[in-house]
Amino acid sequence: MTENREPFVFYTSGSTGEPKIVRKSYECLFNEAIDLAKFFGFSKDIVFVSTVSDEFMYGTTFTLMLPKVLGCKVDEERVVYPEDIKNYDKFVFVSTPSFLEKLAKYNYTFKQKPEMIISAGAKLDDKIFEYLENISNGVTEIYGSTEAGVIAYRQSASSRLNFFDAVKYDNGKISSPYFDESELELNDELEFFQDGFVIKQRNDRIVKIQEKRISLDEIEKVLNTNNFIEKSYCLKLDDKLCVAVVLNNDGKIFLENNGKLELVKKIKKTNPCHSGEGRKGSLFILPKKWRFLTNLPVNDRGKIDSKRIREWFNTNITYPNVVGFSNDGQNSEIDLIFPKNSNFFNGHFPDFPILPGVVQLFFAKEFAKDVYNLDFVPQKVKKIKFSSIIKPECKVKLVLSKKEGSVDFKYISGEKTFSSGTFVAQNRGYTHL
């Protein structure tokens, strides 16, 4: 028997528009948890450890409803950094691709192998999947949505997605006991094989630019094959195709030695969609606006924070070139070059341009927000010092150190300090996204 409760209210991520309200009955969530309990077969002595919040559908299902049905304990302290993971004898690790990628990047291994790593929110890269298989007793990738709940799964890097038993698919629509409607239309285009299916294309990431239908996913896929690019994210802004790019080491070296304009030219010249190797249509539309970032920001669901990226493109200020980046969770070092054609050098000063102090503060704050995934609203800046001037094209290192309720910053080059200070945050604004 299920409990008589008011419906749960969730909000979609709003990655391509305004968030949408989704109401789910307790019965639907209970049915889903019962089936997942049978599917996984976890014992009662397992502890659920999570990097996701139970405020959202994924967290509600796997850190609230499923443990409740199983009678398992949940570690109520949400994991923010790998070092937050406690040493349990038997545990399930619930997370997202963005967090799991960091484990692989830093070659992290658990003190005790988790019985299962569960991932959802975006597709898990096959190489990351393989890494996780080696550091755990099992990995399950979940394909689902806020509206539908769980839809399908895969449990190895070499396998394809398969529908959960209770989910029925027919001509682009699904039905299951995990939502109140009789059926829902999938926003994704699926390609089927004998052993399962893959997501061929997300239809909600199809945009129209220059009278052409453009698949943002497809363009990202092509860009990510470039020798200079680690990952990318495309969006439409004012009828222009924009892209945020995280460079690999080769890309950072080229950027440092040649500048942004030459780097963009190089990427366009060597890109398959430019050379004619790509499929006609969407791939022949190349981005007009480029941003090179330390990383792609993510929200609490582990999905790319498109709103934050839009803010960057809408900001009327030239961003510095990021040519180096390291972060251990608390301390970060970002190598920056402020190009001589940056708009904030105009008039400051004639015949002797220097980097304005307010610009130094702005970028220190912006990088602090993005590096630490902070909803960061500074209340004041204290201990601020401007010790030396920063000239155009000068390579400087921005050093950030996160503390409780504050972030220290300084711009340096070798032993030389250009400026330093501390951002003090409002309590309501200093929260992990």
Provide the CATH number for the domain formed by 8-204 in this structure: 3.40.50.12780
DSSP, collapsed to helix, strand or coil, labels residue 360 as helix
pTM to 2 decimals?
A: 0.73
Question: Mind listing the pLDDT tens digit for each residue in 3-56?
Answer: 557 778 887 755 445 667 888 899 999 999 999 999 999 999 999 999 998 888
Q: Which residues have CB under 8 Å from 80's CB, separation 6+?
A: 51, 432
Sign of the torsion angle spanned by Cα atoms 430, 104, 291, 385: positive
**Residue 385, amino acid:** K
Structural contact between residues 63 and 76, judged by C-beta atoms closer than 8 angstroms: no
The number of helices, as runs of H, and strands, as runs of E, in the chain is 11, 27
Q: What is the overall mean pLDDT for the chain?
A: 87
Q: Which of 392, 243, 397, 270 is nearest to 323 (CA)?
A: 397
Is residue 18 exposed (0-12), middle (13-18) or buried (19+ Cβ within 10 Å)?
Answer: exposed
Tokens of 115: 């019985």
- pLDDT for the residue numbered 419: 96
What DSSP string describes 157-220?
A: TT--BEE-TT-EEETTEEE-TTSSSS-EE-SEEEEEETTEEEEEEEGGGEEEETTEEEEHHHHH
- Pick the residue with more confidence: 301 or 182? 182
Q: What is the CA radius of gyration of the chain?
A: 23
> Residue 429 — pLDDT band, cuts 50, 70, 90?
very low
Residue 311 in this model has a pLDDT that exceeds 90: no
Every domain of the chain with CATH number 3.30.300.30 lies at 213-299
Residue 281 in this model has a pLDDT that exceeds 60: no
Tokens of 376: 């960061």
Every domain of the chain with CATH number 3.10.129.10 lies at 315-433
Q: Which of 325, 185, 179, 305 is nearest to 248 (CA)?
A: 325
Matching CATH number, 213-299, of 3.40.640.10, 3.30.300.30, 3.30.1490.190, 3.40.50.300: 3.30.300.30
Q: Which residues have CB under 8 Å from 23's CB, separation 6+?
A: 7, 8, 9, 10, 180
What DSSP string describes 150-168?
A: EEEEE-STT--BEE-TT-E
Provide the CATH number for the domain formed by 315-433 in this structure: 3.10.129.10
Mean per-residue pLDDT, 280-303: 76
Question: Mind listing the pLDDT tens digit for each residue in 223-240?
Answer: 999 999 999 999 999 888
Structural contact between residues 97 and 128, judged by C-beta atoms closer than 8 angstroms: yes
Every domain of the chain with CATH number 3.40.50.12780 lies at 8-204
Please give the C-alpha separations between residue 243 and each of 270, 278, 310, 394, in angstroms, as whole numbers.
17, 18, 10, 26
